[in-house]
Structure 1
Amino acid sequence: MTKKILLSVFLLPATMAFAQQYGGMWIPTELNEKEMKDLGMKISAKDIFNPQKTSIKDAVVQFNGGCTAEIISPKGLLLTNHHCGYGQIQAHSTVQNDLLTNGFWAKNNDGELPNPGLKVDFIVDIKDVSHQILEGTDNLAEPELSKKVNSNIEFYKNAQKIESYQSISVKPMYYGNKYYAYTIDTYKDIRLVGTPPQSIGKFGSDTDNWVWPRHTGDFSMFRIYADKNNKPAEYSKDNIPYVPKHYLPVSIKDKNENDFTFVFGFPGKTTEYLPAIAVDKIMKDIDPAKIAVREIALKTLNEKMRTDDATRIKYASKYASVANYWKKWIGEIEGLKKSNAVEKKKRYETSLISKNQEIKTTLDQLNNLYNDQAPYALFNAYYTEVIKNAETLKLAEDYYNYISAVEAGKMNEKELNKLKDKLSSFYKDYSAELDAKVTAKLLALYAHKIPQQSLPSDFDKYKDETQNIPIIENISNHSIITGKSEINGTSTSTDIQKAFSNQDKLIETLKKDPVYLLYTSIREAYMKNTDSQFNALQNKIDVLQKKYMAQQMATDKERKFFPDANSTLRVTYGKVKGSTPRDAVSYDYQTHLAGVIEKYIPGDYEFDVPQKLLELYNKKDFSIYKDKTGDVPVGFTATNHTTGGNSGSPALDAYGNLIGLNFDRQWEGTMSDINYDPRFSRNIMVDTKYILFIIDKFADSKWLIDEMKVIK
């Protein structure tokens, strides 16, 4: 498709009906300003993103490469989700000083806690560089096409003049039909300011995860520090709080259904433009496989965590991470079925073909490729999830990659130090004994699910998980990878620097290590029987998906297209709204503190409530944070199209004031990554009234409130 046709597609007018039908994660330089104003927005698109002047984008950051956060004071005070800051909160926790259980609130700047390795990224400019990146690619096919694109990207990046603390990232959009360049400022001195106890920040835990109604105070607070010139700097006690170009006023006005709202953040990944057959495979094959693996891992971890506090603290962040998408995939399957996603896609494809017969050829080819790939895609899902969730095997993979890099001459000092830091951090929260049980059970699942011809030759012996446990425990107990055996006079789990002090000996020992040999046997069978076949077919699918994307945009003249999420800065907008996800089931858009008390179960790991919060509720000591009902609002839902990465994103009102903190989606609508459906798709946000109520009345940290501009 020519660039001229592409341009004409992007300039087509949007319609309300299509926004409601398809959702949207819009590049902030290409907003549907008219539609947003029709829905109630009172500011301009330039107020949201303007590279030449101060705008809301100057208060929004990507938090540690995964979540979103926002600045809410002139002193660099940063708000994000409790679950986004969970790793840092955990890192500062011990059995004696358990910040996860007790919470933490600095009493002044001196009490704020540094977090080595934590960073935030500001997007200072976005440019459409499609012409530069696609130049000279018109007649190229893979792999020459990718080589030329990558060469053009490097040429473009090297030609830009940037500061030492800046970087340029070039990202493909619309499956490589367009490219955008992002100029990024990175700040590296980020300190923990405050967090509620997890009985507030994780209230409802696993049971309530992904569901509505929700009563979770999912927030934590950090602060950006800078050098004396307000520029990014490595941690130093001499650094001072960052003075932002813009910070968000915090509104505690009451919310009403159908109020305009928009969410500004870094959504991770969506696949809204897949053909029907791809959605069918995800729903019937891929998601169920991933769920099965994580179900086993979670059950095994939970049994130990519920009876041992040290393990609970050590594995808290990892358990939450594994559980998060396990439950999401379950909801995704249900949502895809309920929204009739596959049939909806098929009807759309029929409509496209009626307007453009060339699309039939593309879809026929995609159908054939997906069917050919199906068994390999299933094996890939099991292999990837087993290695990821059996930590002992994941460790072995890291050591395998280390040896491969050394032998290829690619292990420089910088990469080696990164690996050592990664391993040191990993061992701190690793239990070889516990993971031996996880690994044993996952190997049994793998042995049953993968055809014998695609497994190592002697893998039948792992089919019984009960028999596996002593086998894997024995292997683990004789391994330097698990830290149970010594190398270079020490254990890898206690002194990684010394363990790596004699590289030749380390590599020689690793190649004979029983865990390493187990991992390599599984890997070699996978690489021989699955990996190359899967990737060869995927490469063909990717080429056709790019073509299909271009054909959709050129053919469907009525639809306004937005690029799939890819961890770049986006705006999504909608209205505060409840939902009716099932027959005779209706949800209001707002929850209140009374709902926390209704769910309260004393001593329960999910639904316990701090004594002070109970006292505040019983006294009705709500101050200015109650709404028209007389209670404190806790959470609310809206029709914003969000996904992973939007965690911690600011939810803003028509004037650009902060009204909530995005943290989840309604379970019935988690399929919105693949098939947004306005009937079910709702994002879930912590109400700013609850956030300020907890900071002020529960944490006695009014000094933080005093920093903010509060709109009453």
Structure 2
Amino acid sequence: MISKRILSFFAAALLSVGVSTAVPDEGMWLPMLLKQLNEAQMQDKGMKLTAEDIYSVNQSSLKDAIVSFGGFCTGEMISPEGLLLTNHHCGYGQIQQHSSVENDYLTDGFWAMNREQELPNPGLTATFIVRMEDVTKQILAGTEIAKNEAEREAIVQRNISKVGRVATVGTHYNAVIRPFFYGNEYYMYITETFKDIRLVGAPPSSIGKFGGDTDNWMWPRHTGDFALFRIYAGPNNEPAEYSPENKPYKPKHHLPISLSGIQENDFTMVFGFPGRTNEYLTSQAVREIYEVSNPHKINIRETKLNILDKDMKASDEVRIKYAAKYASIANAWKKWIGENRGIRKANAIENKQKLEQQFAQWVAADPARQQEYGSLLADFEKNYKALDGTTISRDYINEAAFGVEIVKLANNFTTLQALLAKKAPQSDINAQVTKLETYAASYFKDYHAPSDKKVFAALLELYYKNIDPKLHPEIFSMVRSKYKGDFTKYAEDVFAKSAFVSEAGVKKLLAEARQGKDAIKNDPAFVLASSVADYYSANVMPTYTSVNDNLNLLYRKYVAGLRQMQSDKNFYPDANSTLRVAYGKVEPYKPVDGVIYTYYTTLEGVMEKAASGVAEDYAIPAKLRELYEKKDYGRYGVNGQMPVCFIASNHTTGGNSGSPIINANGQLIGTNFDRNWEGTMSDIVYNPDQVRNISVDVRYMLFIVDKFAGAGHLVEEMTLVTDDTSGLPQVDARKQQQPEKELSKKEKKKLEKELKKKKKKEKAEVEA
């Protein structure tokens, strides 16, 4: 949590800033539907583009600059030479993989000064969207004869396979078909995936992770959370496996970068791949998250983080091994804390209950609705009660039991042990052994057994003590009788005897498996993992699966009913890792009584935090301090200040990390990397007064690349613009990045019309 001293400083400094009364726009919208659902409202809020400029299959558009980065983040093209911008934390795993004690790129940063120095990243991908299509009718064809949900889903999956196959036959494209509104609609995304992605540049963690876990999910923020990669392509500019012969990819569109910056109330748009939201949950579901699931998961992860933090501070080797793991664990931990704060602050449970009461009244007012929806709310209540004990068991299995690395590793050997037990053909066994050999080699690179032993004892003790003994796996009876419930003694015994504690031990197990010998089944770590997995299979999974199948059907009907009841409202589907557009405005907010936060931060704040002595997360490089003291900001500073981050009211979630923040003219102004703590509940309920997304100002990125890193050659390949004119002239400049062509009569007429409209508006404003 940010220190009280820092918080007080910013509160005092910002109290005089006014908060906008404009209502931010909730939603993550489908690009192909912007014309009919959102274009007019977006333009009313200041956007100068058209829906066709954002998403088009007939010409290059903004969508051609957006990629799904690795399947877990977003990235954007910022040069005609395949240069890709995303977050530092999105590329953190790749930076770590290239790091060692001798070449510590996490600490020191990395910059390729030529193409030959750019580092390949096996397994990393960048996926573009070629086009979208509504395939609801094709996917739901035949489902009307299904007798139950299982039959319906089987028909849906067959249709998905067929439609996707037909859409991509004879091409190198893939088809992704996803359900929307709980299966009321289906959309197909035709994708193009590139596999040769190379690391180009990353600032040191003291910039890219400035503030660390102290500032994570917080505002004010001063983090240069960005990294640069490059997409390489094979012949014909098409995807290819890594090869030294590959050339930088030539994108259909890359985002021009604005040097003009941002002002309060400026229009902003986020274009990316948000991961998962659950905006239509009922009050029972939100209550379970708030009162049961989140509190226990927070406690488990906090216990693990405290252990790892101590060991990482004591050893550089452990620090490098666990840097990415620690960040991942801490990210969700702090998010859940903020989510619960936001749920409480937004009165989310009470508001959900009010909506349900309104729905019940609407149903009761019509016999046909009573027939369709009459038992719906009661069925929700019944199914959520059926999950009592199941959700908490699942949380402890995933977070506590399999949160221990040796247990998770041993569980991955379940298939091999089963093959050995039934004396399967040796070829099948050998295939599984080969797979596990590859997995183990990667696993042990970032594993430290002494730390895991401490985690083992602490987390399993939480599992043992914090839930009803009726929910315990069988192995806990043995711990109770043999070790008197002392999990420290149990850990000592397991780590002294298990082969899974070292790479050498695992190699020995696998070598014996190649000889048909089963040395796995009696290993103490495997016995523990099997007991937990068996309990899950017998007592958790059946109920969880059955109830969730029921709930999916109920939610499909509930959302359909809500859309009918609120027919004048545009509904957006929950995020599901597909391409979406969110839009809002640059604006401040009031997190708590007596505190108002402005919408931007500067390098001044970096220095103030660094001087506070409050947290190790506030260390900074000497070169950054030198540039600050000289005010050597180049063309990226403004009035003697260096902008660092800003906030806006765009609706974002995980997966939006790395998404471009685009201004009214289609230019890049920032890179999304976080949400404010008070706004993390936006995955469940949107509170317009609290939800803000946090972005790196693109000028800070340019400043770090150019002035700090001395990698100006990268800036030279970008398209920097200072033209703030709105409307089609800027759009035309963007299109001219493609081969130039003469405007058609229709295009000229459209351009003239837009210019006249613009001049008329400006004249009216002057006269006013």
TM-score bracket relative to the smaller structure: over 0.9
2:406 pairs with 1:392: yes
Aligned to 1:647: 657
The CA deviation at 1:416 is 6.5
The CA deviation at 1:566 is 0.4
Query: Using the alignment, how far apart are the partners of 2:419 and 2:337 within structure 1?
Result: 38
**Alignment match of 1:48 (pick from 54, 75, 92):** 54
- How do residues 262-341 of structure 1 correspond to structure 2 at under 5 angstroms? 262-341=269-348
Q: Is residue 477–residue 485 contact of structure 1 (8 Å, CA) maintained in 2? A: no
> Scaled by the length of structure 1, what TM-score is found?
0.92
The CA deviation at 1:402 is 4.3
2:500 pairs with 1:486: no
Query: Using the alignment, how far apart are the partners of 1:268 and 1:417 within structure 2?
Result: 32
2:469 pairs with 1:452: yes
Q: Is residue 194–residue 222 contact of structure 1 (8 Å, CA) maintained in 2? A: yes
Aligned to 1:74: 80
Structure 2 residue ranges without an equivalent (≥5)? 1-21, 365-369, 723-768
**Alignment match of 1:233 (pick from 222, 240, 250):** 240
Query: In the superposition, relative to structure 1, how do residues 504 and 46 fare at CA in structure 2: closer, same or farther (>3 Å)?
Result: farther
Aligned to 1:657: 667
How much identity, in percent, do the aligned residues show? 46
Structure 1 residue ranges without an equivalent (≥5)? 1-18, 493-498
Larger Rg: 2
The amino acid of 2:619's aligned partner reads D
| 598-607 vs 134-143, greater mean Cα deviation | 598-607
The CA deviation at 1:440 is 1.2
2:32 pairs with 1:29: yes
**Alignment match of 1:179 (pick from 169, 186, 193):** 186
2:710 pairs with 1:710: no
Q: Is residue 82–residue 219 contact of structure 1 (8 Å, CA) maintained in 2? A: yes
2:563 pairs with 1:553: yes
The CA deviation at 1:680 is 0.3
2:455 pairs with 1:438: yes
Aligned to 2:587: 577
Q: Is residue 648–residue 663 contact of structure 1 (8 Å, CA) maintained in 2? A: yes
| 387-396 vs 52-61, greater mean Cα deviation | 387-396
The CA deviation at 1:503 is 3.5
Aligned to 1:10: none
Q: Is residue 265–residue 571 contact of structure 1 (8 Å, CA) maintained in 2? A: yes
The CA deviation at 1:22 is 6.8
The amino acid of 2:327's aligned partner reads A
The amino acid of 1:375's aligned partner reads G
Aligned to 1:477: 496
Q: Is residue 296–residue 441 contact of structure 1 (8 Å, CA) maintained in 2? A: yes
Query: In the superposition, relative to structure 1, how do residues 518 and 466 fare at CA in structure 2: closer, same or farther (>3 Å)?
Result: closer
Aligned to 1:6: none
SS at match of 1:594: helix
SS at match of 1:586: coil
Q: Is residue 279–residue 683 contact of structure 2 (8 Å, CA) maintained in 1? A: yes
Deviations 1:448-493 (Å, cap 9, x if unpaired)? 1232223234515657999423421331232222226636xx457x
2:639 pairs with 1:625: no
- How do residues 373-384 of structure 1 correspond to structure 2 at under 5 angstroms? 373-384=387-398
Deviations 1:487-517 (Å, cap 9, x if unpaired)? 6xx457xxxxxx35743546x1111211100
Q: Is residue 433–residue 473 contact of structure 1 (8 Å, CA) maintained in 2? A: no
Q: Is residue 443–residue 462 contact of structure 1 (8 Å, CA) maintained in 2? A: no
**Alignment match of 1:361 (pick from 365, 375, 379):** 375
| 227-236 vs 638-647, greater mean Cα deviation | 227-236
Aligned to 1:8: none
The amino acid of 1:631's aligned partner reads Q
Q: Is residue 249–residue 657 contact of structure 1 (8 Å, CA) maintained in 2? A: yes
Query: Using the alignment, how far apart are the partners of 1:149 and 1:241 within structure 2?
Result: 39
The CA deviation at 1:383 is 1.2
Deviations 1:118-173 (Å, cap 9, x if unpaired)? 11111111111000000011242221111111111111122223456421111000
Deviations 1:227-262 (Å, cap 9, x if unpaired)? 132111111111111111110001121311100000
Query: Using the alignment, how far apart are the partners of 2:431 and 2:197 within structure 1?
Result: 23
Query: In the superposition, relative to structure 1, how do residues 515 and 656 fare at CA in structure 2: closer, same or farther (>3 Å)?
Result: same
Q: Is residue 124–residue 183 contact of structure 1 (8 Å, CA) maintained in 2? A: yes
| 387-396 vs 471-480, greater mean Cα deviation | 471-480
Deviations 1:44-70 (Å, cap 9, x if unpaired)? 111111122111111100001100001
Query: In the superposition, relative to structure 1, how do residues 303 and 538 fare at CA in structure 2: closer, same or farther (>3 Å)?
Result: same
The CA deviation at 1:399 is 1.1
**Alignment match of 1:667 (pick from 673, 677, 681):** 677
Alignment RMSD (CA, Å): 2.2
The amino acid of 1:582's aligned partner reads V
The CA deviation at 1:327 is 0.2
Aligned to 1:251: 258
The CA deviation at 1:417 is 5.4
Aligned to 2:728: none
SS at match of 2:68: strand
Query: In the superposition, relative to structure 1, how do residues 250 and 405 fare at CA in structure 2: closer, same or farther (>3 Å)?
Result: farther
2:541 pairs with 1:531: yes
Aligned to 1:3: none
Query: Using the alignment, how far apart are the partners of 2:264 and 2:234 within structure 1?
Result: 44
Q: Is residue 429–residue 514 contact of structure 2 (8 Å, CA) maintained in 1? A: no
The CA deviation at 1:415 is 7.3
Query: In the superposition, relative to structure 1, how do residues 411 and 605 fare at CA in structure 2: closer, same or farther (>3 Å)?
Result: farther
Aligned to 2:215: 208
Query: Using the alignment, how far apart are the partners of 2:73 and 2:173 within structure 1?
Result: 20
Query: In the superposition, relative to structure 1, how do residues 655 and 403 fare at CA in structure 2: closer, same or farther (>3 Å)?
Result: farther
> Scaled by the length of structure 2, what TM-score is found?
0.86
| 602-611 vs 459-468, greater mean Cα deviation | 459-468
Query: Using the alignment, how far apart are the partners of 1:172 and 1:465 within structure 2?
Result: 50
2:673 pairs with 1:677: no
Query: Using the alignment, how far apart are the partners of 1:441 and 1:686 within structure 2?
Result: 38
- How many residues end up aligned between the 2 structures? 684
The amino acid of 1:441's aligned partner reads A
Query: In the superposition, relative to structure 1, how do residues 21 and 539 fare at CA in structure 2: closer, same or farther (>3 Å)?
Result: farther
Query: Using the alignment, how far apart are the partners of 1:249 and 1:420 within structure 2?
Result: 46
SS at match of 1:486: helix
Aligned to 2:709: 699
Aligned to 2:4: none
Query: In the superposition, relative to structure 1, how do residues 60 and 403 fare at CA in structure 2: closer, same or farther (>3 Å)?
Result: farther
Query: In the superposition, relative to structure 1, how do residues 411 and 693 fare at CA in structure 2: closer, same or farther (>3 Å)?
Result: farther
Aligned to 1:107: 113
SS at match of 2:144: coil
2:180 pairs with 1:188: no
Query: Using the alignment, how far apart are the partners of 1:92 and 1:626 within structure 2?
Result: 32
The amino acid of 1:448's aligned partner reads K
Query: Using the alignment, how far apart are the partners of 1:416 and 1:71 within structure 2?
Result: 40
2:138 pairs with 1:119: no
Q: Is residue 59–residue 245 contact of structure 1 (8 Å, CA) maintained in 2? A: yes
Q: Is residue 346–residue 687 contact of structure 2 (8 Å, CA) maintained in 1? A: yes
Aligned to 2:174: 167
SS at match of 1:703: helix
**Alignment match of 2:70 (pick from 64, 68, 92):** 64
Q: Is residue 328–residue 667 contact of structure 1 (8 Å, CA) maintained in 2? A: yes
Query: Using the alignment, how far apart are the partners of 1:414 and 1:605 within structure 2?
Result: 47
